[in-house]
């Protein structure tokens, strides 16, 4: 289900974090978090059970709607399926890391964010600092609830009870805020996918329904 607090604004950069799951009814959830890059405001959240390839369709629609938002998918396990599908759909702004292979002197790129024992603590620490400093504005009460139960045990491993999908997706979106203004990720904003464009295209006093993922939005001019 998609919940929207702020619709996209022209010439405003957004970023998206995606935590994926297998999609089984009684399994883990998948989550998409959307942040305003400049203000740190949480503007939309998608949360539910959905196969990873179908999840890519929801991510793609949201990314286009939010001005070709820089999108980071956790690449562990099922996330690879989502990334492959997003590339096939032609996602214009997928996060990728470039690494130099000194053996063959070649630069390779890896799409998404792979969480490891090293990278996950850094991700969560950055999220914690952003929350403590007031850089983020969280509207979703379920995200807040997960943040309150997210703990690090004596062995150093971190998890939420019973789920942490909203936390991980938020952490990925927050991490993208520092990459969003890098030249390779800055997008030329086209108002084709914005609500302003939609409003100009419909006649005065005419109401039309536009389906964005699982969210139904009515616009009236």
DSSP class of residue 41? B
How high is the pLDDT of residue 184?
Answer: 72
Percentage of residues in the chain having pLDDT higher than 70: 71
| Rounded-to-integer distance, Cα 63 and Cα 50, Å | 18
How high is the pLDDT of residue 109?
Answer: 76
The reply to whether 196 falls in a domain is no
pTM of structure: 0.77
Could you list the residue range(s) of the whole structural domain that residue 143 is in?
2-189
At 98-116, the pLDDT tens digits run 665 555 555 557 889 888 8
Residue with the larger pLDDT of the pair 208 and 144: 144
At 40-93, the pLDDT tens digits run 999 999 999 999 999 999 999 999 999 999 999 998 888 899 999 999 999 999
The reply to whether 198 falls in a domain is no
At 196-215, the pLDDT tens digits run 544 544 444 443 444 444 44
In terms of Cβ atoms closer than 10 Å to its own Cβ (0-12, 13-18, 19+), residue 154 is: exposed
The reply to whether 216 falls in a domain is no
The reply to whether 219 falls in a domain is no
The reply to whether 154 falls in a domain is yes
How high is the pLDDT of residue 162?
Answer: 59
| Rounded-to-integer distance, Cα 45 and Cα 16, Å | 10
CATH number (domain holding residue 169): 3.30.420.240
Strands (DSSP E) contained in the chain are 2-4, 14-19, 30-36, 42-48, 70-73, 96-101, 106-111, 151-152, 158-159, 207-212, 215-220
Report how far apart, in Å, the C-alpha atoms of 28 and of each of 160, 162, 166 are. 12, 9, 11
Q: How many domains would you assign to the chain?
A: 1
């Amino acid at each position: 289900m998609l919940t929207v607090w702020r619709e996209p604004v022209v010439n405003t950069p957004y970023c998206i974090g995606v935590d994926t799951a297998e999609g089984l009814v009684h399994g883990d959830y998948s989550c998409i978090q959307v942040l305003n890059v400049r203000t740190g405001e949480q503007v939309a959240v998608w949360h539910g059970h959905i196969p990873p390839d179908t999840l890519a369709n929801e991510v793609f629609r949201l990314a286009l709607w939010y001005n070709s938002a820089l999108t980071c998918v956790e690449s562990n396990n099922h996330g690879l399926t989502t990334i492959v599908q997003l590339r096939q759909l032609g996602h214009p702004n997928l996060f990728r890391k470039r690494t130099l292979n000194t053996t063959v002197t070649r630069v390779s790129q890896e799409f998404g964010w792979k969480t490891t024992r090293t990278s996950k603590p850094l991700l969560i620490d950055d999220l914690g600092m952003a929350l403590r400093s007031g850089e983020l504005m969280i509207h979703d009460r379920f995200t807040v609830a997960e943040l309150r139960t997210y703990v690090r045990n004596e062995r150093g491993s971190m998890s939420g009870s019973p789920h942490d999908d909203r936390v991980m997706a938020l952490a990925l979106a927050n991490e993208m805020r520092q990459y969003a203004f890098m030249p390779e990720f800055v997008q030329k904003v086209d108002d084709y996918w914005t609500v302003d464009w939609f409003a100009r295209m419909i006649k005065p006093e005419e109401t039309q329904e536009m389906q964005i993922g699982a969210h139904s939005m009515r616009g009236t001019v």
